[in-house]
Amino acid sequence: MADHETQVRDAYPELGEIGDVALRDRVVEAWVLGLDRGGWRDIEDIPYAWNIHEVANVDHVRGVTKIAIESATIQREFHGADPDLDVIVAACLLHDVGKCYEYPSFVDDDILDEPDPTYVSEEIPHSISGYALAHEVGCPLSVQRAIPHFLGEVPTRTLEAELVKSANSASSNAITEATMGITLQEWVEQYSQTS
């Protein structure tokens, strides 16, 4: 099995869309830390949601990144906006890195090595632990503030943060519809007490 850095680089070809090499390396570093601390053997084993294991988190993260890149292109071409693509791609790739900490208790133990109890807990929302990982590895504030994607987590939203949030909603709606036959809103309403 490949080491975590190789897994991350192979799983996310969209890393190549980040022009700033140092930022690209910080995104990889955050994932490696999350995978190591979470006890994950393989990045592909992290599920999209605690109760949706048919879709890998990697596929969701890639989908969010692709949607956000396309949205940024449309904002540029049609509206003259100037979103920062490096910030968007880095934040999209990191928006669910916190699932490394939140989801170990929702998967079979045989796909994990020893999760570090200092970090692993389903009590901390993954968008907050993802923010913390991005901060820890030195991602710029513009990337950090675009990672929390639940309403109310960040008081001031940037254009890049809105793109991440809306791309996440679009991808999540597609996944919940395809796997459970319900919208994301219905999923939230049904499972918010247990998630």
User: How much is the average pLDDT of 140-156?
Assistant: 80
Model confidence over 35-91: pLDDT tens digits? 999 999 999 999 999 999 999 999 999 999 999 999 999 999 999 999 999 999 999
Q: What share of the chain is helix, strand, coil (3-state, %, to 5)?
A: 65, 5, 30
pLDDT at 152: 62
What's the pTM value of the predicted model, to 2 decimals? Answer: 0.95
Specify the 3-state DSSP secondary structure of 54. strand
Rounded-to-integer distance, Cα 94 and Cα 89, Å = 9
Residue 157 in this model has a pLDDT that exceeds 90: no
Residue 101 in this model has a pLDDT that exceeds 50: yes
Fold of the domain spanning 4-191: Hypothetical protein af1432 (1.10.3210)
Residue 161 in this model has a pLDDT that exceeds 50: yes
